[in-house]
Structures are given as C-alpha cells and as structure tokens.
Amino acid sequence: MADGLLSSIGGAIKDQYETTKRGLGLLVNDPSQFTKEAVARYFPTKEEVAQFRAIEKSGGDTSNTPYMQKMFNLAQFQGSIKPTGLLQTIKPEINMTLDSMKRAVLTENTNPNIVLTATKNPDNTKYMSPYLEVFDDPAVIGGKGTATRLYLKGLELAKYNNLGWMSDSLSSKSTEKMYQRLINMGIPFKKTGDVYQISPEELSKINLEKLIKK
C-alpha cells in the first residue's frame, strides 16, 4: 500500500514537472499559446465556477469537480514557478453570466473565488445593487484588486442600462473601504446613513472605461 502511494505521488510530481517544463518552453517560443493553455489548465470556466457554487451550497462533495482540480493544478504550478512570476503574463479578464434569477454574476478569470452579483434594487428599480462573496481566505486571495475591478465592471453594466448604483446597508469595514476607494478614483458616491449611492444621471457622466483600464 505504501509503495502504491509513493508511486502515485511520484507520478503526480513527474506529470507536473513535464507540464511546467512544457509551459516554460511555450512562454519563450509562443507566449500566446502558453497563455491559452495555462488558462485552460489552471483557471475554471464560468460554468465550472457555477457548478462548484451550486454543489457547495447544496452541501455536496466538491472535491472531484473540475473547479477543484484546476485549483489543485494552479497551486502546484504557482509553487513550481513562483520565483519567476510567470503567471503575471495572464491578463485578468471579467466574465459575466446570468443566474436563474437573471442577476448578473461577475468573476475574474485569474481570481474566481471572489464573486460579485449585481441586480436591480427591489425597492428602487432605477438603481442596481451589488452583493460580494468571497469563497476562500480573504488574506490569501485578497489584495490583488479583483473586487475593485468587479465593482467597476458592475458600475459599467449599470451605466449601460441607464441605472444608478446603490449599496446594501454596510455590514463590514471592507465594504466601507471599497466605496472610499471608488470615491478616491473619482466616482462621486453620496452616503446616506449606511448606504452609498450614485444616481443614473451622475453615473452616466463618469468615464468608467478609463478607470477600468488603469
């Protein structure tokens, strides 16, 4: 039994070595193909993220899902090439899907464990409101700007639909910091009680595309 376990571990290490070696070669000779293969192997698709979230919420076993396999692959890969910083060649991009309730679900391909759900505010349909979820240790996956980029994309979606933006009643210091960060970037949110908001008219004047590209 011990020999079988050692053989299994040895095989996994060898497979990861060959994969990393091929990745390093591709990075030098064909960067675009390297990026394509790295995204496919290490970053979950929006469908895989949705599947994982559904199974997790139902209390099912998520260990054998494609999402968890890619997280395992990514952890191995990062450990193999961390000194060279090669993962920085993969550009963060925002994915958007609609869930069963027609809410916009925003995730970033390089950090899919942070999810922003945006929908029309039920009490004032001229505004869109967000809900941010973090499916991992914030100390590990935070601090990369992902949440800020998701909020900017959500604001862009609201602007495109001629809507304003209204926060829920604030419940955490991190949410407070987020809106202060957006204000510092030039988005004139007004705070009433515990709620930040910007009207459709004010939001329409903001060049969000410029902020997103920063």
46: left (phi over 0), alpha (psi -120 to 50) or beta: alpha
Alpha helices in 30-163 (DSSP H): 31-42, 46-57, 66-81, 138-141, 146-160
Statement: residue 164 has pLDDT above 90: yes
Structure tokens belonging to residue 100: 């069963």
Mean pLDDT, the chain, rounded, equals 78
> What residues contact 194, with CB distance under 8 A and at least 6 apart?
169, 170
pTM beyond cutoff 0.85: no
Q: Tell me what the mean pLDDT of segment 3-28 comes to.
A: 49
Higher pLDDT, 102 or 74: 102
* Bridge partners for 120 per DSSP: 128
Q: What span, in angstroms and rounded, lies between the C-alpha atoms of 40 and 156?
A: 27
Q: What span, in angstroms and rounded, lies between the C-alpha atoms of 142 and 79?
A: 18
**Predicted pLDDT at 203:** 95
Let me know if 103 is exposed, middle or buried by CB neighbors in 10 A (0-12, 13-18, 19+): middle
Per-residue pLDDT tens over the stretch 40-58: 777 888 888 888 888 878 8
Per-residue pLDDT tens over the stretch 183-195: 999 999 999 888 9
In which residue are the tokens 């100390």 written? 139
Residue type, 64: N
Sorted by where each begins, the domain ranges of the chain are: 2-89, 94-213
Q: Tell me what the mean pLDDT of segment 133-162 comes to.
A: 88
Residue type, 138: P
Q: What span, in angstroms and rounded, lies between the C-alpha atoms of 204 and 95?
A: 23
Q: Tell me yes or no: is domain 94-213 CATH 2.60.40.420.
A: no
